[in-house]
Amino acid sequence: MKLPFKQRTISTAVIIPSAIVVAALALLQYRWSTRVSEATAVRLADSLQMSIMNLQKDLFRYFSEISVALRIDPIEDSPADVNRYVRRFAEWKAVTKYPKLVSNVWILTPDAGIKQPASRLNLTAGRFEAGAWPTAFETLRADLQRASAEFPRNRTTAAGRRDEIFNLEDPSAGWLFDPNIPALFHPVNTVSGSVEWMAVELSSQEIQTHIFSDLIRTYFQGTDGLDYLAAVISGTSPGHVLYESDRGFGYPPPADADGTIDFFGRVPPGLTGSPVHVFHAPSNDKGPDPSVKIAWFPFLRETPADADWRLVVRHRRGGALGAFVTEMRRRDLAIGFGVLLVLVLNMGMLIVTSHRAQQLAQLQVDFVTTVSHELRTPLTVIISGADNISKGVVETRQQMAQYGSVISNQAKQLLGLVERILLFAATRQGPLRYNLRVLEVQEIVDDALASAAGILEANGFTVDCDIPEDLPNVKGDRSALSQCLQNLITNAVKYGAKDGKETQPWIGIRARGAGEEVEISVADCGIGISAADLPHIFEPFYRSPSVKAAQIRGTGLGLPLSRSIAEAMNGRLTVDTAPGRGSTFTLHLPCIKSPGTIEAPPASADLAHTS
Ligand code: ADP
C-alpha cells in the first residue's frame, strides 16, 4: 500500500533528522569515551606514581627516624658517653610505630687486635655490654675498617667534622646502610685512635611482614581489597621476594607491571633514567616529575643494583592498567551504544507503528472510495430500471424480460462485490479454513470458465484452452481455486482489449506439470502492466492509474484475494507482463505424485469458505 506523498514526506522528514541525530550521538559518545578513558588512564598513572613515591618516602622516614632519634653527637675530645644512646633509643622505642624494627644496637670497633671489639645494647639492663664481634656482621668488618680509614682523611677541622657528622638540618646525614643484614651504621667517637661505629641492626622479619604490608595497604587499598597487586623483590630468584600481596605475584617478576620503584633511589636493572617507572604515561604537566631524586642512605659497601629492594605493582582488575582502562572504555561504550540501540529500536517501532496506522487509515479510505463507487453503478441501474417499470414505461413482455435480465445482472454484480469484500475481510482476520480435496486441474478450470462464461460471452472473447489429460492432480479447495482462476480470467477480459483496437479478443488458459508443481496460466494480449504498477498490483485496493483513467471498473481486491488463496493451498501466484503486449498470470500449485491418491483433509479443513 503506497502512502500519499504528503505522509511519506512527513515520515522522511522525521526519519532522516532522527537518524542523523542518532549517528551524531553515537559519534560523540565514541569520541567522548575515548577522551574520558585517556584522561582516566593518565589520572590513574599520576596517582599510581604519587602513591609509590610516597610509599618509598614513608619507608625512608621509618628508617631515618631511628637515625634522628639516636642523634650521633659530634666529635668530642673525651671518650663518648654511650649511655645517652641507651636513653635515646629507649625514647625512640616508646614512640615509634614499629618498636620491633630494630633488633640490636651495637657499638663496634672494627680495628684488628681490639680485645672486645663489640658491645651490644642491653635495653633491660640499660647499658652496652662488651663482647665478641657479632656473626651477622662478620663480612662487614673489613668494610668498616676501610670506612674508618677514610674517615679521618675527610676530616679537616673539628668544626668541619662537626658539620659533616652532625648536620642539624639533616640529622640522618652520615648514616650508611647495608641492605643485606639490613643495618644502619654511623661512626662515633673518632677522636681516639680507632674509630668506633654505631650499628643499628634492623629486623627483616618486621620489615617484610609488617612494614611492607602496612605501606601497601595504606597506598593501594580500594573499596574491595587492594586495587593493585604488589611485591617487593630483591634480585630475580624466588628466594628474594621480600613481600608479595598475592602468592606468586613477585616471582617470576611480572612482565606487565604498571609501576616500579627502587627504594634505594637507583635505576632498576633493565630500565633507564629514573628509579620510578610508571608504564602507562602519566600526564606531562600535572604528574610528579619522574626524574625526581629519591632520598636514601648511602651504602656502606658496594652493593649490586639487583640486590636493591624494588616495589612492583600491577592493577588487580583486567591485568595491567592499560587493559583495565580499555575494559572500562569498552564497558562505557557498550552501555552508551546499548542505550542508543534501545533509542533506535524505539524509533524504529514508532515509525513502523505509525506507518501501519497510516496504512490502515489509507486502507479504510480506499475501501470506502472503491466500494461506494462500485456499489453506485449497479444500484443506479437497478433503481432506474425499477423506476421505469413502476412508471409504466416498460410496455411489452419483451421489454420486461430485458429489464429483468439487466436488473438480475446488476444484482449479481452487487452480490459478487459484497461476497468479495466479505472474503477479503475474512482473510484479514486470519487464515481461512478450506475444504482440501484431491482435484483434477480440468475440473478447476471448467468451474472457473463456467463462472466467467457471462463476462466472456458479453465481451466476445475466444478462449484457447490447453489442459493435457495426463496432468498430475493437485490438492486444494475446489471452490476457492476456481474463484482464484475466475478472478484472473475476469481481469484478462477487463484488461485484455487494447483501447478497443483488438479485433478478436482472446485469452489463453494453459496447464503444465513442472517438477513438483502444476502451473495453470491465464494469458491475455491486453494492455499489460507497467513497471511502476507491478510491485503494487497485489496490494489490496490498488488499481493502476491508467485503468482508473480508462474507467475500467474494479475494486482492487481480485489479485490480493487470488494470491491469498494460492498461498493457502501452499502455492503461489506469479505474473509475467509487458506493457502493450499483454500479461500472463500463473497459479503454481504443488502436485500430488500418484494420481488418485486421496489424502484425508486435516481436521480443521472443513468447508468454511464460500465464494
Ligand atoms: P481490479 O481488477 O478490480 O482493479 P485486481 O486486484 O484484480 O483489481 O487488479 C489490480 C490491478 O492490477 C488492476 O487494477 C490492474 O491495474 C492490474 N491488472 C490485473 N490484471 C491485469 C491484466 N490481466 N492486465 C493488465 N493489468 C492487470
- The residue-averaged pLDDT of 68-91 equals 74
- Measured CA to CA, the distance from residue 307 to residue 449 in angstroms comes to 106
- Measured CA to CA, the distance from residue 549 to residue 557 in angstroms comes to 18
- Measured CA to CA, the distance from residue 474 to residue 569 in angstroms comes to 9
Atom 2 of ligand 1 has which residue's CA nearest to it? 554
Atom of ligand 1 nearest to the CA of 487: 7
Look at residue 331 in the predicted model and tell me its pLDDT: 87
Atom 13 of ligand 1 has which residue's CA nearest to it? 543
417 and 446 housed in the same domain? no
394 and 467 housed in the same domain? no
- CATH at 564: 3.30.565.10
Q: Which of 36-45, 339-348, 445-454 tops mean pLDDT?
A: 445-454
Pocket-forming residues, ligand 1, beta carbon under 6 Å: 487, 491-492, 494-495, 524, 526-529, 533, 537, 542-544, 547, 554-560, 583
Q: What is the distance in A from the centroid of ligand 1 to the CA of 554? A: 8
Domain annotation covers residue 605: no
Atom 23 of ligand 1 has which residue's CA nearest to it? 492
The CA distances from residue 608 to 390, 431, 583, 605, in Å, are: 40, 11, 32, 8
Q: What is the distance in A from the centroid of ligand 1 to the CA of 546? A: 10
Domain annotation covers residue 264: yes
Q: What is the distance in A from the centroid of ligand 1 to the CA of 476? A: 24
Q: What is the distance in A from the centroid of ligand 1 to the CA of 490? A: 9
- The residue-averaged pLDDT of 506-531 equals 93
Atom 3 of ligand 1 has which residue's CA nearest to it? 554
306 and 331 housed in the same domain? no
**Strand order across the 102-108 sheet:** 127-131, 118-122, 102-108, 196-202, 183-188, 176-178
Q: What percentage of the chain has pLDDT greater than the value 90?
A: 37
pLDDT at 526 over 60: yes
Atom of ligand 1 nearest to the CA of 552: 4
- Measured CA to CA, the distance from residue 59 to residue 51 in angstroms comes to 12
* Nearest alpha-carbon partner for 194 in 126, 111, 80, 303: 111
Contacts of 127 (CB under 8 A, 6+ apart): 83, 86, 121
- Residue 450: pLDDT band (50, 70, 90) is very high
Is 155 within 8 Å of 190 (Cβ atoms)?
yes
Paired strand residues for 227: none
Is 465 within 8 Å of 509 (Cβ atoms)?
yes
The last residue of a domain, from among 317, 352, 381: 317
Atom 20 of ligand 1 has which residue's CA nearest to it? 491
Atom 12 of ligand 1 has which residue's CA nearest to it? 537
Please tell me which residue, 168 or 38, carries the higher pLDDT value: 38
Q: What is the distance in A from the centroid of ligand 1 to the CA of 543? A: 6
Q: What is the distance in A from the centroid of ligand 1 to the CA of 418? A: 18
Strand pairing category for 228-233 and 241-244: antiparallel
Please tell me which residue, 81 or 261, carries the higher pLDDT value: 261
Domain annotation covers residue 447: yes
Select from 495, 506, 573, 581 the residue to mutate for testing ligand 1; criterion: most ligand atoms less than 8 Å from CB.
495
354 and 286 housed in the same domain? no
Domain annotation covers residue 112: yes
- The residue-averaged pLDDT of 559-576 equals 94
Q: What percentage of the chain has pLDDT greater than the value 70?
A: 84
Contacts of 14 (CB under 8 A, 6+ apart): 351
Q: What is the distance in A from the centroid of ligand 1 to the CA of 558? A: 7
pLDDT at 283 over 70: no
Domain region containing 77: 1-317
DSSP helix/strand/coil, 182: coil
- Model confidence pTM above 0.75: no
Atom 7 of ligand 1 has which residue's CA nearest to it? 558
Look at residue 498 in the predicted model and tell me its pLDDT: 62
The CA distances from residue 453 to 213, 306, 551, in Å, are: 103, 108, 23
Q: What is the distance in A from the centroid of ligand 1 to the CA of 104? A: 111
Q: Which of 97-106, 126-135, 142-151, 397-406 tops mean pLDDT?
A: 97-106
Q: What is the distance in A from the centroid of ligand 1 to the CA of 446? A: 22
493 and 586 housed in the same domain? yes
What is the grid cell recorded at 90?
629507649
- Measured CA to CA, the distance from residue 163 to residue 171 in angstroms comes to 11
**Strand order across the 241-244 sheet:** 241-244, 228-233, 310-315, 259-262, 276-278
Domain annotation covers residue 603: no
Look at residue 291 in the predicted model and tell me its pLDDT: 63
Domain annotation covers residue 40: yes
Look at residue 6 in the predicted model and tell me its pLDDT: 63
Is 221 within 8 Å of 230 (Cβ atoms)?
no
Atom 14 of ligand 1 has which residue's CA nearest to it? 543
Upper half-sphere CA count for residue 46 (Cβ side, 13 Å) = 12
- Measured CA to CA, the distance from residue 135 to residue 131 in angstroms comes to 12
Q: Following DSSP, what letter does each residue of 74-110 receive, concatenated?
A: PP-SSPP-THHHHHHHHHHHHH-S-GGGEEEEEEE--
The last residue of a domain, from among 293, 317, 341: 317
- Residue 121: pLDDT band (50, 70, 90) is very high
258 and 129 housed in the same domain? yes
> Does the bond joining 275 to the residue before it have cis omega, within 30 degrees of 0?
no
Q: What is the mean pLDDT of the chain?
A: 83
Look at residue 467 in the predicted model and tell me its pLDDT: 95
Is the CA virtual torsion 27, 32, 35, 38 positive or negative? negative
- Residue 500: pLDDT band (50, 70, 90) is low
532 and 423 housed in the same domain? no
- The residue-averaged pLDDT of 425-431 equals 80
Look at residue 155 in the predicted model and tell me its pLDDT: 45
Look at residue 192 in the predicted model and tell me its pLDDT: 56
Look at residue 281 in the predicted model and tell me its pLDDT: 60
Atom 25 of ligand 1 has which residue's CA nearest to it? 528
Q: Give CA torsion, residues 148, 149, 152, 155, to 10 deg.
A: -90
353 and 310 housed in the same domain? no
328 and 461 housed in the same domain? no
Surface-to-core class of residue 375, CB atoms within 10 Å of its CB (0-12 exposed, 13-18 middle, 19+ buried): middle
What is the grid cell recorded at 233?
623483590
- The residue-averaged pLDDT of 463-474 equals 93
Weakest mean pLDDT among 1-5, 425-429, 589-593, 595-599 = 595-599
- The residue-averaged pLDDT of 136-140 equals 88
Please tell me which residue, 174 or 207, carries the higher pLDDT value: 207
Look at residue 200 in the predicted model and tell me its pLDDT: 95
Please tell me which residue, 406 or 597, carries the higher pLDDT value: 406
281 and 370 housed in the same domain? no
Atom of ligand 1 nearest to the CA of 546: 16
Atom 16 of ligand 1 has which residue's CA nearest to it? 544
Give the CA angle between residues 447, 523, 563 to the nearest 5°. Answer: 65
- Residue 157: pLDDT band (50, 70, 90) is very low
Upper half-sphere CA count for residue 397 (Cβ side, 13 Å) = 0
- The residue-averaged pLDDT of 102-123 equals 87
The last residue of a domain, from among 264, 287, 317: 317
DSSP state of 538: T
Domain annotation covers residue 602: no
Look at residue 487 in the predicted model and tell me its pLDDT: 94
pLDDT (tens digit per residue) in 386-397: 998 988 888 888
Atom 19 of ligand 1 has which residue's CA nearest to it? 491
- The residue-averaged pLDDT of 492-501 equals 76
Look at residue 551 in the predicted model and tell me its pLDDT: 84
- Residue 169: pLDDT band (50, 70, 90) is low
Q: What's the structural domain count of the chain? A: 3
- Residue 611: pLDDT band (50, 70, 90) is very low
Domain annotation covers residue 223: yes
Look at residue 601 in the predicted model and tell me its pLDDT: 43
407 and 308 housed in the same domain? no
DSSP helix/strand/coil, 173: coil
Look at residue 95 in the predicted model and tell me its pLDDT: 93
Select from 374, 459, 538, 543 the residue to mutate for testing ligand 1; criterion: most ligand atoms less than 8 Å from CB.
543
Cα R_g (the chain), whole angstroms: 52
342 and 298 housed in the same domain? no
- Residue 370: pLDDT band (50, 70, 90) is confident
Q: What is the distance in A from the centroid of ligand 1 to the CA of 537? A: 7
Select from 459, 486, 547, 586 the residue to mutate for testing ligand 1; criterion: most ligand atoms less than 8 Å from CB.
547
DSSP state of 443: H
Expressed in angstroms, the distance from the first to the final Cα of the chain is 25
pLDDT at 221 over 60: yes
Residue 202 backbone dihedrals phi, psi, to 5 degrees: -95, 155
Q: Which of 91-100, 228-237, 301-310, 418-427 tops mean pLDDT?
A: 91-100
Q: Following DSSP, what letter does each residue of 259-326 receive, concatenated?
A: EEEETTSSPPTT--S-SEEESSPPPTTTSPPTT-----PPBSS---GGGS-EEEEEESTTSSHHHHHH
Look at residue 310 in the predicted model and tell me its pLDDT: 92
Look at residue 471 in the predicted model and tell me its pLDDT: 92
- CATH at 393: 1.10.287.130
- The residue-averaged pLDDT of 116-128 equals 88
DSSP helix/strand/coil, 446: helix
